[in-house]
Amino acid sequence: MSQSFRGTFLPVTTPFDPVTGDVDVVAFRANLRHWFRSPIRGVLIAGTTGESVLLDAGERRALIEAAADTVPDEGLVIAGTGAESTRGTIELSRQAAAAGADAVLVQPPAFFKGAMTPEALARHYRAVADVSPVPVLVYQVPLRMSTVELGTGLVEELSKHPNIAGIKDSRGQLDLIGELVQHAQDDFQVLVGSGALLYAALETGAVGGIVAVGLLATAQAAEISVAWAEGRLEDAGRLQETIAPVHQQVVAAMGVPGVKAGLDLLGLRGGAPRAPLSRASEAKIEEVRAILEAAELLAPAGV
């Protein structure tokens, strides 16, 4: 079950047909082919940036199957499979593995927050990991989206499970990344979810990141991990300085609508989010354009 998650992963967006509103698998494949021109380690399907909570099980399966067919052999496909019930999470995880996912990312159930004690969450994750055909990554969702925070002690306990391979931590706090690295089992892999912290997280002991800014600055985000692994620390730090404002001003400040607007400006398939999310306004689109221009990301795309 051992699998290395070292490197930069992209939490890919989900394009929708502008007429029918259905998942646009053709556009999805085209985006994947573009992103894999850079040395990314893999992709996350149906994560937060992929509008996971707005997708049904069949759509998730179709996206995973498309990715499994399109991603190069050396690339990894991670699928978001978190649901509010343990039973539902297990079923989504089995479906993801059958569709070609190499690992699953499981966010904590949050609706019944008061009942989600560390003991309840531990039972949930262990039950999923016991039967998942592929390694499980724990997902610490940004706290503005999920009100459940996974304590370091809980993650330390989960890290002892042979099929729980690591965690994606999207809290955006470097000190907490350090806590996880320090307290978890040695083979437990910590991935950062903030593109503004990728280089610093690698310095702290993380193995990589799943970063949405890489959707807009793919070559730069991928090269941070490559340069770090090769000992070119100055290059990695310089690239981090380039993409940090894009993360802060687009990904963190505008969310999915801003990221999708940026993809459109870069010539990729962004489009509108699925309702009830709204498309970025014209003013926001121009703001995104200025941010991408300042980071010198539009010129390489020929825009």
pLDDT digits (tens, 9 = 90+) for 259-294: 999 999 999 999 999 999 999 999 999 999 999 999
What average pLDDT does the structure give for the chain? 96
- Residues with Cβ within 8 Å of 162's Cβ and at least 6 positions away in sequence, in order, are 1
What range defines the domain where residue 65 resides? Answer: 7-230
Report yes or no on 290 lying in a domain. Answer: no
Report yes or no on 266 lying in a domain. Answer: no
**CB 217: neighbour CB atoms within 10 A?**
27
Q: Across-strand partners of 44?
A: 11, 78
Question: How many whole angstroms separate alpha carbon 132 and alpha carbon 163?
Answer: 8
User: What DSSP designation does 9 have?
Assistant: E
Report yes or no on 263 lying in a domain. Answer: no
Report yes or no on 124 lying in a domain. Answer: yes
Mean pLDDT score, 116-141: 97
Report yes or no on 142 lying in a domain. Answer: yes
Summarised one tens digit per residue, pLDDT across range 137-146 is 999 998 777 7
Report yes or no on 254 lying in a domain. Answer: no
Question: How many whole angstroms separate alpha carbon 281 and alpha carbon 287?
Answer: 10
Report yes or no on 130 lying in a domain. Answer: yes
- Give me the residue label for tokens 């021109």: 37
Q: List the CATH number of the domain containing 177.
A: 3.20.20.70
Q: Across-strand partners of 168?
A: 139, 191
Residue 299 has a pLDDT of 65
Catalytic residue list contains 168: yes
pTM of this prediction? 0.96
Report yes or no on 255 lying in a domain. Answer: no
- Count of domains for the chain: 1
Q: How confident is the model at residue 2 (pLDDT cuts 50, 70, 90)?
A: confident
Residue 126 has a pLDDT of 98
Mean pLDDT score, 118-131: 98
Q: Which candidate in 113, 168, 260, 284 is catalytic?
A: 168
Question: How many whole angstroms separate alpha carbon 157 and alpha carbon 152?
Answer: 9
